[in-house]
Structures are given as C-alpha cells and as structure tokens.
Amino acid sequence: MKINRNYMKVSLVLTALALLPLAYPAMAGDEVPFKGKEAGAIISDVLPFAFPFAFDRMTATGEATHIGHYTLTGDFVANVIFGTAVATFMITAANGDMLFLDAEGFVLQTDLTKVVWNFTVSGGTGRFEEATGSFTAHLQLAAAVGSLSPNPYVAEIEGTFSTPGANKK
C-alpha cells in the first residue's frame, strides 16, 4: 500500500515535469533590463483646474531597449499642494503593440524642473500581452512645473520588464 502511494507521487511529479515545457509560453517571461530616452511635453490643465488638483497630459517619443521607437501618451492628476501625481500611460511601439502603465510621480522640491515617475507595467497587446515590470523616468523640464504649457522635457528611463506575449506563436 505504501509502495503504491510512492509510485503515485513519483508518477505525478514526472507528469508535471513532462508538461512544464508546454506551459512556458504562458508563464511570465524573464525580466530584462529596460533603458531608454524620450523627449516630450507636459500639457497643463486639459480639464479645468479644481484646487488642489490639476489635470494634465504627457506626450512623448522615445527609443528604448526591447521596444525600439515608441510614442507615449497619458493623462495624470497632480496634487499641487504635495507635488505628487497619479497617472495611466500607454506606450505604442512602431508596429502598433501597446504597453499599458500605471504611474506615480513627484516633483523634486529642491528643483521644480525635475520630475520623477515610477511606472508599473500592467499589461499590453501583441508582444506586450501579459507584460509585467517596473521602471523609473527622470524628467528634466524646460521650465518649473505648472509655469509653461506645453512644457518640453527630456527623460532617462531605466528598469526591468518581461514580455511573455513575445513567446506566443
């Protein structure tokens, strides 16, 4: 009886190991380094200002590893008292595949021309389907936050992400 249970356990383990390669395309891909540069603009007050909240938009073009040339668009709500913001963004690669992002940002209190965004990848389309990861963008604005619209910026981007959709055939 005990021998039969051991055979059953060994059989289950061997079956699971045999099926594991079939599950690989559905599993999250390995995290890969993600680096890039972009140039864009922050457009202020796309909706009427409702103190303490400003409703703004960002648009940019850039170049990044594992994406290539892309465009970024997104809307965010900034709390002007605390210098923080929350947002949703979308990166569209040259072939039309999209990467969906949630973000939190803040302006550096020591230099109101510097903004940091922390992005969380929340999925996408095409090769970015089921993508995960996170990255940070350090923006250098042309003028202090809120003083110019559109306010041009350049950014350095760095983090990691996975693209399990790239494994699908």
The candidate with the shortest Cα–Cα distance to 117, out of 32, 36, 28, is 36
Q: Output the pTM of the full model.
A: 0.79
Architecture field, domain 29-167: Beta Barrel (2.40)
pLDDT in tens for each of the 169 residues of the chain?
Answer: 555 555 555 454 444 444 444 444 334 457 899 999 999 999 998 999 999 999 999 999 999 999 999 999 999 999 999 999 999 999 999 999 999 999 999 999 999 999 999 999 999 999 999 999 999 999 999 999 999 999 999 999 999 999 776 555 4
Angle subtended at Cα 70 by Cα 122 and Cα 72, rounded to the nearest 5 degrees: 60
- Residue 107, judged by CB atoms within 10 A of its CB (0-12, 13-18, 19+), counts as buried
pLDDT at 10: 47
pLDDT at 13: 45
pLDDT at 21: 44
| Domain parsing of the chain, residue ranges | 29-167
Q: 17-65: per-residue pLDDT in tens?
A: 444 444 443 344 578 999 999 999 999 989 999 999 999 999 999 999 9
Please give the Cα distance from 96 to 127 (Å, whole number). Answer: 10
Query: What are 17's two structure tokens?
Result: 């190991």
pLDDT at 7: 53
How would DSSP label each residue in 86-97? Answer: EEEEEEEETTS-
Q: How many residues does the chain have?
A: 169
Please give the Cα distance from 48 to 45 (Å, whole number). Answer: 6
Determine contact, residues 106/115, Cβ cutoff 8 Å. yes
